[in-house]
Structure 1
Amino acid sequence: MHSSAFRRLKHKTQVFVEHEGDYYRTRMTHSLEVAQIARSVARVFALDEDLAEAVALAHDLGHTPFGHAGEDALSEETSAIGGFDHNAHALRIVSKLEHRYAAFDGLNLAWETLEGLVKHNGPLSGPGRTKKIPEPIANFDARWKLDLDTWPGLEAQVAALADDIAYLTHDIDDGLRAGLFNVEQLYDAPLAGPRALAIQDRYGDLEPSRFIGELVSALIGTLVYDLIDETKRGLDDLRPASAADIRAAGRPIAKFSPKMAAEAEGLKCFLFVHMYRHEQVLATRAKAVAVLRELFAAFLGNPGLLPPDWSGVCTGPGEPVTAGVIRDYIAGMTDAYALQEYSRIFHRDVSL
């Protein structure tokens, strides 16, 4: 929480560009909500709460400005050098790019924290895994094995599902407040619809903030209790004697029930159609993609445009090493700083 990368999350897009409204989630507020849910579930099972919280707080450190639009743009621009993966970049941040200490780069995190950061969504290699391991992760694994073919510890599994719970619920909150969809449309949404109707039946017409508060609370409770019940069943079946048994299980132990997983997937589809692909969001996305592409091209053609400590490690215009430096530099930008750099280089402002 004391790192520069974590502070920058305050000004990085979750769904909405940071300046669009004070109430909408940023990467920081999202990460804090994930950490609260992860810690609460970890406490139920007497897990290492600090580890669950650390993985939750770190899980989005590697995100670019402008949310997934920025990640997609940066990945396309750097395809020749392996593309961009936010989990891989998060590992680079905590192991190399943060310069807080005189004796070493990074944050000196425990193996379990690094493993959870890299693998919280599951194994990166092994049976059924066809996606190439991102180079920063492969290089780190060559020096310090992260057991990329196993599931992570239970704390990281819990943090990953806390991420799902947080963004599913707070995106409904933000989407309603932004007017991207209304309550009547929400009635037809899986998982959220029945709970929204129950609130309407119980309380009648509520002011929007009270309705949203009741709905978000009901959804978080429903998802958390299902996660706890299903994880307890998994632990009863496995009867692990150690954390190593969790990693060797060959399957996730923390999970939703099949019915709840299907309902959550249905709610994701609702949000995809009504929020993530809403014309207002797509219009902002298109502008953000253009900004990052133009910034990348400008820096690649003239590394002297970078700050001295960044340009000093470049090897020349168009070089792969230079492209990697620019990738790291742009990925670390906040939304506001990316627009500021664009204005400085191109002498024109972009309104998102």
Structure 2
Amino acid sequence: METLDTAVRRDEGTGRAGYACDPSLSRGREFGEPGGGVRGPRSAFQRDRDRVIHSIAFRRMKHKAQVFVAPYGDHYRTRLTHSLEVAQVGRVIARSLGLDEDLTEALCLAHDIGHAPFGHAGEDALDAALTGQGGFDHNAHTLRVLMRLESPYCTHDGLNLSWEMLEGLAKHNGPVAADELLPWALEELDRAFPFDLGRWPSIEAQVAAVADDIAYDNHDIEDGLRAGFIELDQLLAMDFIADQWRAIERRFPGTPRDRLQRELVRSQIGWMVNDVIAETKGRIASEGVETAQDVRRADMALSGFSRGVQQAERVLKRFMYDNVYYHPAQKRTAQLAVELLQKLHGAYAADPALLPDDWQSALPQGEPERARHIADFIAGMTDRYAIRQYTQIFGPPPEELSNV
């Protein structure tokens, strides 16, 4: 039960806190819709969530790598399962804080939709392929997919999501400084439908960002253990993990180690989630935040880890980079993936007839639009589709990428 000093003040009718986003007060959508786009009792943010879930780009994430190339095993996370797990964490935090759960969930589900195949290796490949043409940024491409490329409607391009949804994705990493060089895709879209980049996004967006950290920090541990890249004893060298492990052993004596390891991951997530909830309540109270406008005018992030947990999380993240993300086998696979996608981009640029008919017919004649159009096509590929396309053009890929 919440104590008086930590309780969240909520509207009696909606259960929503005053600083939460109110869908009835949304700044609207880029394109007007007949009847306001209302179908049934859903709020604007519920419709955002549903549009994301029903999109082709969302479905494609099931075969895009999270850490390990998707064909390597059915039990590893993909971009889709990661996004679902982020949404689960985000909703728990949002409900505890009296936020709009639907907006939080929609942001969590959509935050990685702009990733290229092969994870960050694919991003590196397309960024290099677009040298001199503006480069490639997966966060900006998320907005490009949702606002321009994924177009199921007859009256406009994109999914036409709410302003609050789009600004949360645009500022996934916080406000953007006025003198900061914007990725070209973000700059074009901000010009068309300004995101107020210099201010903090909603608390829902801030929660979605920290939920992303919580999910991948801990679930990537489970995948790293499964792959044999890390051992439990390495994790236990970190005091904050060892403390939880000893508590788990006391609670479940004689339990097989593999079950205890999964309990450790759950315990870690619970520890971080509870810390974020308590820390966010404290910041809201200390800053005197009462409205959604107060959130955007704040001088700091209102949702995040406490100092102690933040330090521990950074230690854990450094460990994961050293032992999982930059593991020699991962680095080898990543380099092969970069080379594969760069060769694909070069092949399509040299011979557009290799593109599918619809992409070929829409190919711009001038640069940088031409190179970016090809990058849009490649960025939408799943891992295994990219491998199939490579095989059709160049023959079998390296063995590390051939287990499709």
- TM-score above 0.5: yes
| Contact 1:186-1:196 at 8 Å conserved across structures | no
Match of 1:172 among 215, 221, 226: 221
**Is residue 303 of structure 1 aligned with residue 331 of structure 2?**
no
**Is residue 60 of structure 1 aligned with residue 108 of structure 2?**
no
| Percentage of pairs with the same residue | 48
Decide which moves more: 342-351 or 112-121: 342-351
| Contact 2:114-2:138 at 8 Å conserved across structures | yes
Residue number in structure 1 paired with 2:60: 8
Residue number in structure 1 paired with 2:320: 271
Residue number in structure 1 paired with 2:261: 212
How many angstroms apart in 1 are the aligned matches of 2:300 and 2:222? Answer: 32
Residue number in structure 2 paired with 1:27: 79
How many angstroms apart in 1 are the aligned matches of 2:75 and 2:204? Answer: 29
Residue number in structure 2 paired with 1:335: 383
Residue number in structure 2 paired with 1:291: 340
Secondary structure in 2 aligned to 1:81?
Answer: coil
Secondary structure in 2 aligned to 1:79?
Answer: coil
| Contact 1:339-1:350 at 8 Å conserved across structures | no
**Is residue 223 of structure 1 aligned with residue 296 of structure 2?**
no
**Is residue 281 of structure 1 aligned with residue 330 of structure 2?**
yes
| Contact 2:364-2:370 at 8 Å conserved across structures | yes
| Contact 1:96-1:105 at 8 Å conserved across structures | yes
Residue identity matched to 2:137: D
| Contact 2:364-2:373 at 8 Å conserved across structures | no
Superposed displacement of residue 84, structure 1? 0.5
Larger Rg: 2
| Contact 2:90-2:108 at 8 Å conserved across structures | yes
Residue number in structure 1 paired with 2:69: 17
Superposed displacement of residue 274, structure 1? 1.0
How many angstroms apart in 1 are the aligned matches of 2:310 and 2:387? Answer: 39
**Is residue 248 of structure 1 aligned with residue 300 of structure 2?**
no
**Is residue 238 of structure 1 aligned with residue 260 of structure 2?**
no
- Residues 46-75 of structure 1 show CA distances to partners (whole Å, capped at 9, x for unaligned) of 111000000000000000100111111111
Decide which moves more: 182-191 or 243-252: 182-191
Residue number in structure 2 paired with 1:38: 90
- Residues 64-110 of structure 1 show CA distances to partners (whole Å, capped at 9, x for unaligned) of 10011111111111121111111111101111101211111111210
**Is residue 323 of structure 1 aligned with residue 375 of structure 2?**
no
Structure 1: 4+ residue segments shifted above 4 A? none
Residue number in structure 2 paired with 1:117: 169
- Note closer, same or farther for the CA distance 1:177–1:28 as it changes in structure 2 (3 Å cut): same
TM-score between both structures, scaled by the size of structure 2: 0.83
**Is residue 134 of structure 1 aligned with residue 186 of structure 2?**
no
Alignment gaps of 5+ in structure 1:
none
Match of 1:106 among 158, 162, 184: 158
How many angstroms apart in 2 are the aligned matches of 1:98 and 1:106? Answer: 5
- Residues 232-274 of structure 1 show CA distances to partners (whole Å, capped at 9, x for unaligned) of 0111012223211100002100011111101000000111111
Residue number in structure 1 paired with 2:48: none
| Contact 1:64-1:332 at 8 Å conserved across structures | yes
Superposed displacement of residue 350, structure 1? 3.6
How many angstroms apart in 2 are the aligned matches of 1:327 and 1:119? Answer: 23
How many angstroms apart in 2 are the aligned matches of 1:181 and 1:199? Answer: 20
Superposed displacement of residue 220, structure 1? 0.6
How many angstroms apart in 2 are the aligned matches of 1:191 and 1:68? Answer: 29
How many angstroms apart in 2 are the aligned matches of 1:100 and 1:239? Answer: 43
For the aligned residues, what is the CA RMSD? 1.5
Aligned residues: 348
How many angstroms apart in 2 are the aligned matches of 1:64 and 1:190? Answer: 36
Residue number in structure 1 paired with 2:24: none
How many angstroms apart in 2 are the aligned matches of 1:271 and 1:7? Answer: 28
Superposed displacement of residue 124, structure 1? 1.7
How many angstroms apart in 1 are the aligned matches of 2:240 and 2:217? Answer: 10
TM-score between both structures, scaled by the size of structure 1: 0.95
